[in-house]
Amino acid sequence: MASATTKDLSDVAAVGGGVGDTYGEDRGSEDQLLTPWTFSVASGYSLLRDPRHNKGLAFTERERDAHYLRGLLPPTISSQQAQEKKLMKNLREYQVPLQKYMSLMDLEERNERLFYKLLIDNVEELLPIVYTPTVGEACQKYGSIFRRPQGLFISLKEKGKILEVLKNWPERGIQVIVVTDGERILGLGDLGCQGMGIPVGKLSLYTALGGVRPSACLPITIDVGTNNKQLLQDEFYIGLRQKRATGQEYADFLHEFMSAVKQNYGEKVLVQFEDFANHNAFELLAKYRSTHLVFNDDIQGTAAVVLSGVVAALKLLGGTLADQTFLFLGAGEAGTGIAELIALEMSKQAKAPVEEARKKIWLVDSKGLIVGSRKESLQQFKKPWAHEHEPVKDLLGAVKAIKPTILIGSSGVGKTFTKEVIEALCSFNKKPLIMALSNPTSQSECTAEEAYTWSKGRAIFASGSPFDPVEFEGKVFVPGQSNNAYIFPGFGLGVVMCGAIRVHDEMLLAASEALAGQVTQENFEKGLIYPPFSNIRKISADIAAKVATKAYDLGLASHLPRPVDLVKYAESCMYSPVYRMYR
């Protein structure tokens, strides 16, 4: 079949190469690109089957002539806006969120730009579909709804061959990998290979919210088995039917993966670890943070977004960070990650040692308050939080004993902020900050309605999964969504656009400060501690700029010279889903 050849650099150019994405139009200088490249676009029937270039009914008369499309499409020509309107109408007719999810995934498979156009223009409406909570259900049913692979599956069968597997992926200019091993998918537990929905969903936000090109994103699921008995017996399960590999076998497999990634993509590919179980999450981050460009979203991304919300909430609560007392339910990745970043910021602000700052932060796990007398039996990552106190066996007891001003739930267990807990919190706080972070909605520590009703409208509330506004005693309360989706897309964009080679905690603090700085007076007046998601691209550009600034300051950025205006530069790097004209 004939093919139209065009010297189009946009689909292979690295972010940071200064190249826009107007089809056939070079806006950057070629010598900054990874490779000079002549891109060959399919034509005719293949063009319609190529989701990256298909425009459906939007192909113009000239394009239909030039690209052998005559007769393959009905006569009508439709604009991208008209296509968007039709699809949104169709989508809204589905009653079941999972049907909307499947319909959106089909669209992505058919017409990638239209998918992203929809997602960007309707972000508040569609985020709960491609992301939490619906993506959780999609993972639970992934085997049944599976149609086509949207990322790489690397199972123990591929041991010794991971580099070859990476080479099977059709794209070369990968900048961001999101990888999971499926052991702790949201608060839903071990979903094995079906965790793939998470890297896919996270990376679609990298593009929609952070502007990283879709072709630069690679979702990966590592399959070392699953301990989920139900899945092992499920006739439609798509993963290895064996118990999880652990210990040395697991470590060696992950090491082969990390080495292959570096060998294949070099130093500047960002690897985001997602939804690993606690022990592996901490170990992998500790092991690879000094040799690879890695970021753990559940530990570091969640920490940055929560710190941002807490800092913004100080405007409503009064006082400084150091004036607050924190109590966490959940001492895993999210809980200890957030606690540590808060302690770092507190010690920076108060110019005091971080050990002092940690004393203002208390954690409760499944065995009760973490205290010094439990030190011997505690996992390593909990030890910094074992302060001196008599044992307290549950959350309610801990609330009464510690008298926190801020209560944060990150245990993955739903319905744990009970009426008694919230009433106790309100008995000594005029305005408590309550963050119910566990996902999806079914695992939230309490609902927005419960938080406002039980606190009699006094709580400032944010949750990991979205809740609708609540009316209480004639007043409307709008809950915030404290989800790492505010941070990782902009953070990732910042990292790749400056060619960072490592992630430093200071870069996370910069991202967090950038987000807090985006909350407007108008937001505060509504009781909001996060800006609306509808502004997310602007927010992401600002986060990216601040993260890149910090990377340059720390000498960790390799793309030189440093752009003068990093916000403008971030904006210029962002992918636009608007159709391009094919010459």
Ligand X SMILES: O=C([O-])CC(=O)C(=O)O
Residues designated as active site: 131, 202
Q: How far is CA 251 from CA 54, 224, 287, 395, 553, in A?
A: 42, 11, 10, 35, 34
The answer to whether residue 439 forms part of the interface with ligand X (CB under 6 A) is yes
Give, in order, the Cα–Cα distances in Å from 137 to each of 100, 234, 494: 12, 16, 31
User: With CB under 6 A, what is the number of residues at the site for ligand X?
Assistant: 9
Nearest to 272 by CA among 167, 174, 132: 174
- Amino acid of residue 503: V
The entry of ligand X, Mg ion, none near residue 272 (CB within 5 to 8 angstroms by kind) is none
Element (H, E) at 379: none
- The minimum distance between CB 10 and ligand X, in angstroms, equals 30
Q: Which is nearer to ligand X, 347 or 463 (CB)?
A: 463
Distance CA 101, CA 88 (A): 13
Interaction of residue 549 with ligand X, rule CB under 6 A: no
Residue 69 lies near ligand X (rule: CB under 6 A): no
Of the candidate residues 181, 223, 275, 445, the single one contacting Mg ion (CB under 5 A): 275
**Binding partner of residue 11 among Mg ion, ligand X, none, CB under 5 to 8 Å per kind?**
none
Crossing angle of helices 505-516/488-497, nearest 10°? Answer: 120
* CA–CA dist 443, 412 (Å, integer): 6
Q: Of Mg ion, ligand X, none, which one sits near residue 80, judging by CB under 5 to 8 A according to partner kind? A: none
Q: Which x/- pattern over 161-190 shows residues binding ligand X (rule: CB under 6 A)? A: -------------------------x----
Residue 148 gets the label, from left (phi > 0), alpha (psi -120 to 50) or beta, of: beta
Site string for ligand X, 271-290 (x = CB under 6 A): ----x---------------
The smaller minimum CB distance to Mg ion, of residues 485 and 497, is found at: 485
Tokens describing residue 94: 């589905």
**Secondary structure string (H, E, C) spanning 212-236:** CCHHHEEEEEEECCCCCHHHHHCCC
Locus of tokens 């210990």: 247
439 binds, among Mg ion, ligand X, none (CB under 5 to 8 A by kind): ligand X
Residue 273, burial from CB neighbour count under 10 angstroms (0-12, 13-18, 19+): buried
Q: Provide the minimum distance between the beta carbon of 484 and ligand X in the complex, in angstroms, as a whole number.
A: 5
Q: How many CB atoms lie under 10 A from the CB of residue 318?
A: 11
Identify the CA nearest to 425 among candidates 393, 394, 458: 458
How many CB atoms neighbour CB 206 within 10 A?
30
Which residue among 10, 453, 483, 540 contacts ligand X (CB under 6 A)?
A: 483
Q: Site residues for ligand X, window 455-474 (CB under 6 A)?
A: 464
For 143, what's the count of Cα atoms within 13 Å in the CB-facing half-sphere? Answer: 16
Cβ neighbours around 285 below 10 Å, total: 20
134 binds, among ligand X, Mg ion, none (CB under 5 to 8 A by kind): none
The answer to whether 189 and 443 are in contact (CB under 8 A) is no
Identity of the residue, 182 or 464, whose beta carbon is nearer to ligand X in the bound complex: 464
The interface mask with ligand X, positions 218-237, x = CB under 6 A, is: --------------------
User: Quick one: CA torsion of 133, 139, 142, 143, rounded to 10 degrees?
Assistant: -150
* Interface stretch with Mg ion, choices 38-46, 136-144, 273-281, 386-394 (CB under 5 A): 273-281
User: Using CB distances below 5 to 8 A depending on partner kind, what does residue 483 bind out of Mg ion, ligand X, none?
Assistant: ligand X
Which of 112, 298, 345, 445 binds ligand X (CB under 6 A)? It is 298
Contacts of 247 (CB under 8 A, 6+ apart): none
Q: Count the residues of the shown chain that bind Mg ion, applying the rule CB under 5 A.
A: 3
Cβ partners under 8 Å of residue 351, min gap 6? none
Q: Output 414 or 464, the one with its CB closest to ligand X.
A: 464
User: Smaller CB distance to Mg ion: residue 280 or 405?
Assistant: 280
Quick one: 186 or 364, whose CB is closer to ligand X? 186
Residue 555 beta carbon to ligand X: minimum distance, rounded to whole angstroms: 30
Residue 139 C-beta: closest distance to Mg ion, Å: 11
> Which of 347/444 has CB closer to ligand X?
444
132 binds, among ligand X, Mg ion, none (CB under 5 to 8 A by kind): ligand X
Nearer to Mg ion, 183 or 275 (CB): 275
Q: Who's near 401: CB < 8 A, 6+ residues apart?
A: 369, 389, 392
Among 54, 204, 411, 484, binds ligand X (CB under 6 A): 484
Q: Which two tokens stand for residue 496?
A: 């790749």
- Shorter beta-carbon distance to ligand X: residue 186 or 260: 186
Q: Which residues lie closer than 8 Å to 31 by C-beta, 6 or more apart?
A: none
Among 21, 158, 183, 297, binds ligand X (CB under 6 A): 297
CB of 193 to Mg ion, least distance (A): 17
| Minimal distance, residue 540 CB to Mg ion, in Å | 18
User: Which residue is it, tokens 């909605």?
Assistant: 441
Residue number, 175 or 465, with CB nearest to ligand X: 465
Is 411 a binder of ligand X (CB under 6 A)?
A: no
> Would you count residue 132 as binding ligand X (CB under 6 A)?
yes
Residue 145 main-chain phi, psi, to 5 deg:
-95, 0
Minimum CB–partner distance for residue 560 and ligand X (Å)? 33
Four-point Cα dihedral 507, 508, 512, 517, nearest 10:
0
Supply φ then ψ for residue 461, to 5 degrees.
-125, 135
Stretch that binds Mg ion, among 106-114, 144-152, 293-301, 365-373 (CB under 5 A): 293-301
Q: Where do we find the tokens 């899945």?
A: 231
Options 8, 63, 183, 298; binder of Mg ion; rule CB under 5 A: 298
User: Considering the complex, what minimum distance in angstroms separates the CB of residue 100 from ligand X?
Assistant: 17
| Least Cβ distance, residue 276 to Mg ion (angstroms) | 9
Contact assessment for residue 507 and residue 551, using Cβ atoms and an 8 Å cutoff: yes
- By CB under 6 A, name the binding residues for ligand X: 132, 186, 275, 297-298, 439, 464, 483-484
- By CB under 5 A, name the binding residues for Mg ion: 274-275, 298
